[in-house]
Structure 1
Amino acid sequence: MNRWDGKTKGSLLGYKIFLFLINALGLNFAYGLLRIVSYYYYLFAEKAKEALLDFYSKALHISGKPALHLVRQNFFILGQTLLDRAAFLLGKDKNFTHTFENEQYLLDIRDKGKGGILLSAHLGNWETAGNLLKGRVTPTINIVMLDAEVESIKKFMDLSTGGSKFKIIPIKNDLSHVISIRNALLNNEFVAIHADRYLEGAKFIELDFLGKKAKFPYGPFVIASKFDAPVTFVFAAKDGKFSYHLSATTPIEGKMKPEEIAQLYVAELERKVRQYPEQWFNYFNFFQE
């Protein structure tokens, strides 16, 4: 199975259809159509299906019909999170609710005035969760990411919805993103980074994850260790039709080595995967052979 290539999958036509349906007929109707679309992917997206079944078997020791059921759930909930994202961008977010476990940790980080580094993963839906807490906890959230979405889709989403409500800090080869992160923290802003995917050729750290060896990107943990800003691990999982459960861990205040932060992060990620296995959205061979 191939490694992750840094690109978001999806067709322009698909985005156009679902944006139209959300606008014209509402999110409930779009969810209904999504059941058909997600079942199609369940039947024919062999590589993604194989990657999930491999992960469930090796990491969680789930196989057979229970694993296949998880895959079906996974594809449907992924589609829901994408529709939820579009609904927020279109301003159709009034039905959404959330609970926030340890929200006070983020409020404390904000009040210290040094900004905050939020390490997360491709589990659940951080972007919609960020929309739910934006303005309540902080006016500005920056997301550090590979700016590798298909250009036509990105352009259409920007024109149709006004684009993301976040500040995007694109990862650059010249490391200019490090300066952008520094400036954001100096402005007492939050910087969110996914720390579960690495690209071939990039520096990585190999750790024990759910009983198997896995590679994680080294960069997010270096960033978390170098800046004088609190670090917390934040996750947001869909726990109802229009609801999300957010959580934050006790902030890391003192200096720690990247490897030490990585160990703590992986321990928390393990807990979240066991809690929400159907929301593990990494469709490649996560473990090393």
Structure 2
Amino acid sequence: MNGFWYKFFLRMARLCGPWLLVVTSRIIATGFFLFSGRVSESRRFYGALFPERGGLYHLWCAFRQYQNFTTIHLDRFLAERNDTTIFTSQGWEKLEGVIGRQGGILLMSHLGNWEMAARLLRRQKEDLRLLLYMGVKEKEGVERLQKEDLRRAGVTIIGVDQERGSPFAAVEGIRFLQSGGIVSLTGDIVWRSDQRKVRVSFLGHEAWLPEAPYIFALLSGAPLFVFFAFRTGKNSYRFTLSDPIAIRPHARADRDRAIGEAAQQYADLLEKRLREHPFEWYHFERFLQ
């Protein structure tokens, strides 16, 4: 959906109530489910997650995945409208211990609602300095509005061109960490074929993860945390923060092994949470090799 129509439906929802956004977004999601070529990838993914179930069940899982995705737009609308998001947290004290000191790196995923996670972190600590790396597409509609909403919520956004990287973006992130800020990076999407990546095992398959978060941790010395925000009800969330993942190569030649082990730790945590929240997987591109 382009930005014009998205803004139009938001205005109508403000006049008529959130129910209009719910109905409209679910109809649109059904259309994507029926006509999008990505559904086959969702079926394949759920086939790996539930190998003991049949093809119809995997199709049903994909349908629920597409319908659940609409809650992201509803909760964004409610948060912007009256900021009444209810949330509980687990592990916040781990992050609080590094704020203003060596900083910290958050690995966010397309499991759960990472956008709401960023908002909730700012709610938890209003003066939190949070930098979020986000991919930039050539033509953005809803994505551009999403970035604008996060900036209004006090989150610093660095747009990363998905076709070509920029070393200056990385330098700014390192400086942000060294000043005691929190940097959030996507842990489960490789944007470009020439991007540095690391191979992990996931659901009995191979998968590729971006190497950048682990390089950031090595260069800055900042701890690396895995962060999730799962929906527990209408505009209600629970966010969890893992123990820090250590990346300690004994020598420069040992760096690749240390990064691989850290990436596998993240993949294991991601798989564990996926099994607990299978229909909050909002990664619609090919993930399993």
Same-fold status (TM-score > 0.5) = yes
8 Å CA contact 1:59, 1:211 repeated in 2: no
Judge which range, 66-75 or 120-129, deviates more: 66-75
Give the Cα–Cα distance (whole angstroms) in 2 for the partners of residues 254 and 57 of structure 1.
Answer: 33
SS in structure 1 at match of 2:136? coil
1:260: which partner in 2? Answer: 261
1:197 paired with 2:189, answer yes
Structure 1, 35-44 or 240-249: larger mean CA deviation: 35-44
Contact 2:217 2:247 in 1 (8 A): no
Task: Decide whether the 8 Å contact of 1:22 with 1:87 is kept in 2.
Answer: no
Shift of 1:276: 1.2
1:98 is the counterpart of 2:87: yes
The separation in 1 between residues aligned to 2:61 and 2:268, in whole angstroms, is 22
Aligned partners of 1:78 and 1:185: how far apart in 2? 32
Letter in 1 for 2:28: V
* 1:188 aligns to 2:180 (yes or no): yes
Deviation at 1:37, TM superposition (A): 2.3
Query: What is the distance in 2 between the residues matched to 1:149 and 1:48?
Result: 20
Identify which of 135, 143, 148 aligns with 2:137.
148
Residue of structure 1 equivalent to 2:10: 19
1:238 to 1:254, Cα distance in 2 relative to 1, 3 A: same
Instruction: Give matches, 1:34-113, under 5 Å.
Output: 34-45=25-36, 47-61=37-51, 62-88=53-79, 90-94=80-84, 96-110=85-99, 113=101
C-alpha offsets along residues 84-129 of structure 1, whole Å, 9 cap, x if unaligned? 23443x34321x2112122222222326x11110012111111112
What's the CA shift string for 1:149-189, capped at 9, x where partnerless? 63455566678997564111233633111211122112321
Which is worse superposed, 148-157 or 77-86?
A: 148-157
Query: In 2, distance between residues paired with 1:264 and 1:191?
Result: 19
Q: 1:201 to 1:40 in 2, by over 3 A?
A: same
Counterpart selection for 1:29 from 15, 20, 26: 20
- The CA distance in 1 between the partners of 2:137 and 2:153, in whole Å, is 15
Are 2:216 and 1:223 equivalent residues in the alignment? yes
- 1:287 match: 288
Code of the residue aligned with 2:178 in structure 1: it is L
The alpha carbon displacement at 1:284 in A equals 2.2
Identify unmatched segments of 5+ residues in structure 2: 250-257
Taking structure 2 as the reference length, the TM-score comes to 0.85
Shift of residue 14, structure 1, vs aligned partner: 3.6
Equivalence for 2:114: 126
Letter aligned with residue 58 of structure 2: A
Cα RMSD (Å)? 2.5
Tell me, in whole angstroms, the C-alpha distance in 2 between the residues paired with 1:158 and 1:285.
24
- Paired with 2:150 and 2:91, the residues of 1 have a C-alpha distance of 31
> Larger relative contact order (C-alpha < 8 A, sep ≥ 6)?
1
Q: Verify the 8 A CA contact 2:131 2:183 in the aligned structure 1.
A: yes
**Deviations along 1:211-243, whole A, 9 cap, x unmatched?**
111111122222122212121100112221221
CA contact (8 A) 2:122 2:153 kept: no
Aligned to 1:110, the other structure's residue is in SS state: coil
Contact 1:141 1:167 in 2 (8 A): yes
Q: Distance in 2 between matches of 1:103 and 1:36?
A: 37
Letter in 2 for 1:119: L
> Which residue is equivalent to 2:170?
178
What amino acid does structure 2 have at the position aligned with 1:189?
G
Distance 1:21 1:140 in 2: 34
| Percentage of matched positions with identical amino acids | 25
Q: 1:74 to 1:17 in 2, by over 3 A?
A: farther
Structure 1 residue 18, shift from structure 2 partner: 2.8
Match of 2:71, SS state, is: helix
SS of aligned partner of 2:38: helix
